[in-house]
Structure 1
Amino acid sequence: MKELGIRRAKLFGWPNTYVFTKAMGEMLLGHSRGDLPMVILRPTIITSVQSDPLPGWIEGTRTIDSVIIGYAKGKITCFFGDLDNIMDVVPGDMVVNAMMATMAAHSGQPAELVYHMSSSVRNPVTYATLEHCGFRYFLANPRVGRDGSVMPTKRLRFIKSMVGFRVLMTLRYKLPLEVSPYTHPCTILPHAF
């Protein structure tokens, strides 16, 4: 089903099933709304809230938050990307506020309106900001392991090029697996009889 969905999305000009199904939902709403006013708000990456109910709050783990948690746990040590690139994130409470404002501003209007909500023009946040803030936060508030020991906070390494990423993956993962006696097809392991 996954492959069929991807083929179908690409057939209609969408890069993946995620954006394709979102577009299908918007089209369905547009066709079935009748005379009801409709406002579609398309936020970029929604992340934890800025202030309400408290700064940094989020329910569940989605999008960029899973990367932050992986870094905090020491599971993600490097990231493929450019520190100068803008990470287009919007706090969840700002998305909710924008939804309420657009509904109030356009109530009673039979038009169909679409708004794109992002932060990159007025308040750009770079990956360098994410790395710096994450490092500072976890340095001041280190995670504690199950045994009560403090987990060390290390800087997240960013890799700009695919060549650099492939070299790292080869040196760190592929070569050690290839030289391991347990993975080599010609290795005869002693058996306990």
Structure 2
Amino acid sequence: MPAPDRTSLDEIVAAGRSIVEAHGLDGLTMQAVAGRVGVRAPSLYKRVRNRGALVELVAEATVRDLARRLGEAAPVDGDPRAELAALARALRAFAHERPVAFGLVFAPGGGGVSQALLAEASAPVLRVATSLVGEADALSAARTVTAWANGFVTMELSGAFRLGGDVEAAFEYGVERIAESLAISVSEH
């Protein structure tokens, strides 16, 4: 009779996500995860091929979590400008809660996350962008919004806003101006 499993893949990934936030990506080791879930490191290899696969699983779980939060942030039948602001705020809140994992998924290579999962996470932003600018320009608009929000949040998290002023107000200013400019651009066409 085989020995009972002492951990699950979900527990391993949850432990990995917790370790990443507490100790950074370098702290994510098979040994650290094994200790967190109460098994010896060799036992993890039954579920996870290697550390690279573990990093991918953490990145995928992060993107799924972000996709869920973005999907919940903006109602489908609301004002697209308000929806865009809600999405940007949800992204920012997520980044503040999980700054290391956020950095991982927005870094070059994105932690190895699949195109299908990225498309799922992007769907709410694309939907709102389509409402604002139309189908032909939706991808460009979604990329513009995402790049601005990611840049703002990355600078905020790294402490790069050192000239004083209210960072919260600056974020809201940016969200409002981007939403207004996208809505104006569609009305001009």
TM-score (norm 2): 0.31
Structure with higher helix content: 2
Q: TM-score, normalised by structure 1?
A: 0.30
Indicate the structure (1 or 2) with the bigger Cα radius of gyration: 1
Higher relative CO (Cα under 8 Å, sequence separation at least 6) belongs to 1
Larger strand share, 1 or 2: 1
